[in-house]
């Protein structure tokens, strides 16, 4: 196999590993809550901690990407992320869980930036869009991790044992895959970025597009089941099916995304995607039949699926320090994912969950209006 193809396959595996760790944790959150003896309030605060940890760590990743070979950095940070998976199952008090989840989130954020930087290098070597497929493998990994975790939970397996086994398996997979990643160092004449760098002005409009997409994704993942169950009055099994339709739609769209981007270009692709997402969100808002609402959530997933890969690919081409630009966009995206569940819940508390999804529809429209910032521009600097 050609080295570039091997590197692409290896990077796909790395994305799947990251997604599998994320899905594993998410599916065992009820066990973790029982283990520390917390209710919905304490758990809600705890689930904010990974996002805070990622936001604190991501500004450091640009300096790391400048200082170290990207293949070695990706290997180390993904292994660190695998090891961090063990941490959330250990605490027996809510305060310790808060601290542990900050560290867990920091490891997740650093690994996320490193693997996306590796993906940007591969996309540059290919000379065409391949980023969307990498994020498709992340989605597949997340689905696989959550499915295995659901089986483990049903079998009554202690999450501490489950997490250790999963972390070990994912670490071995990472070590094998990392051997085929592309080595890459920045040009020696470029100055190092600041040790703690906030997003540059060139990154901010791209980050706004990411914010809209990730907010809509968080709304779909966290609130679609609640919407179908509580607003439409359907059974829990139907509500769970809604989440599956949303997640699978995103994964499939990401695997098809690179072909669409190659044919239409990033700007037209995001405009088309935003139109699909907006229609899907409006169907959710206006319909009261699950036979329409569930496909509406699926269409929302299709519409936002390719946007995050595109904003990462665009950020990776900005300025002398792509790692800094990637970290900036990733920080904005993580921040959006951090606040989305609370904003949706707050709007629902003040009015209704239906009105919350009117906000989602509005953000997908803004996402489409912001599409021109993803136009390739080789002279744009950070």
> Do 322 and 121 touch, CB atoms closer than 8 A?
no
Which pLDDT score is estimated for 200?
64
Mean pLDDT of 294-321: 87
- pLDDT surpassing 90 at residue 282: yes
Assigned superfamily of 3-178 = MFS general substrate transporter like domains (1.20.1250.20)
Residues 6+ apart with CB under 8 A from 124: 317
- pLDDT surpassing 90 at residue 365: yes
- How much is the mean pLDDT over the chain? 87
Instruction: Tell me the percentage of the chain whose pLDDT exceeds 90.
Output: 51
Q: Which fold has domain 204-374?
A: Growth Hormone; Chain: A; (1.20.1250)
DSSP codes of every residue in 119-185: HHHHHHHHTS--HHHHHHHHHHHHHHHHHHHHHHHHTT--HHHHHHHHHHHHHHHHHHHHTTSPP--
Mean pLDDT of 147-155: 87
Neighbours of 150 (CB within 10 A): 13
Confidence band of 300 (pLDDT split at 50, 70, 90): very high
Which pLDDT score is estimated for 88?
95
Which pLDDT score is estimated for 59?
77
Length of the chain in terms of residues written: 382
CA–CA separation, 216 and 337 (whole Å) = 9
- pLDDT surpassing 80 at residue 36: yes
- pLDDT surpassing 70 at residue 186: no
Which pLDDT score is estimated for 378?
46
- Picking from 306, 307, 286, 281, the residue whose alpha carbon sits closest to that of residue 296 is 281
Same CATH topology for 3-178 and 204-374: the answer is yes
> Do 182 and 71 touch, CB atoms closer than 8 A?
yes
Which pLDDT score is estimated for 147?
87
- Domains of the chain, by residue range, sit at 3-178, 204-374
């Amino acid at each position: 196999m050609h080295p570039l193809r091997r590197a692409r396959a290896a990077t796909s595996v790395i994305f799947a590993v990251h997604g599998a760790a994320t899905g594993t944790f998410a599916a065992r959150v009820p066990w973790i809550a029982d283990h520390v003896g917390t209710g919905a309030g304490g758990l809600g605060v705890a689930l904010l901690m990974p996002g805070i940890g990622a936001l604190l760590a991501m500004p450091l990743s640009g300096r790391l990407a400048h200082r170290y070979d990207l293949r070695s950095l990706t290997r180390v940070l993904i292994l660190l992320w695998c090891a961090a998976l063990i941490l959330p199952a250990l605490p027996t008090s809510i305060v310790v869980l808060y601290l542990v989840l900050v560290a867990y989130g920091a490891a997740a954020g650093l690994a996320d930036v490193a693997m996306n930087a590796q993906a940007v290098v591969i996309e540059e070597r290919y000379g065409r869009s391949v980023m969307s497929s990498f994020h498709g493998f992340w989605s597949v990994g997340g689905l696989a991790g959550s499915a295995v975790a659901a089986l483990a939970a049903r079998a009554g397996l202690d999450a501490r044992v489950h997490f250790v086994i999963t972390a070990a398996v994912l670490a071995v997979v990472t070590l094998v895959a990392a051997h085929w990643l592309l080595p890459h160092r920045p040009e020696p004449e470029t100055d190092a970025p600041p040790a703690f760098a906030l997003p540059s002005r060139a990154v901010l409009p791209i980050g706004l597009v990411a914010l809209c997409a990730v907010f809509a994704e968080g709304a779909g993942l966290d609130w679609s089941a609640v919407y179908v169950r509580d607003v439409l009055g359907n059974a829990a099994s139907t509500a769970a099916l809604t989440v599956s339709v949303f997640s699978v739609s995103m994964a499939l769209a990401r695997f098809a995304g690179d072909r669409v981007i190659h044919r239409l270009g990033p700007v037209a692709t995001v405009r088309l995607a935003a139109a699909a997402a907006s229609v899907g969100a409006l169907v959710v808002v206006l319909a009261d039949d699950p036979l329409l609402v569930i496909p509406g959530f699926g269409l929302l997933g299709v519409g936002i699926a390719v946007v995050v890969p595109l904003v990462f690919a665009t950020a990776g081409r900005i300025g002398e320090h792509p790692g800094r630009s990637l970290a900036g966009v990733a920080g904005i995206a993580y921040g959006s994912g951090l606040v989305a569940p609370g904003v949706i819940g707050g709007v629902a508390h003040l009015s209704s969950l239906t009105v919350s999804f009117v906000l989602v529809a509005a953000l997908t429209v803004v996402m489409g209006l912001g599409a021109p910032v993803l136009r390739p521009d080789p002279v744009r600097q950070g």
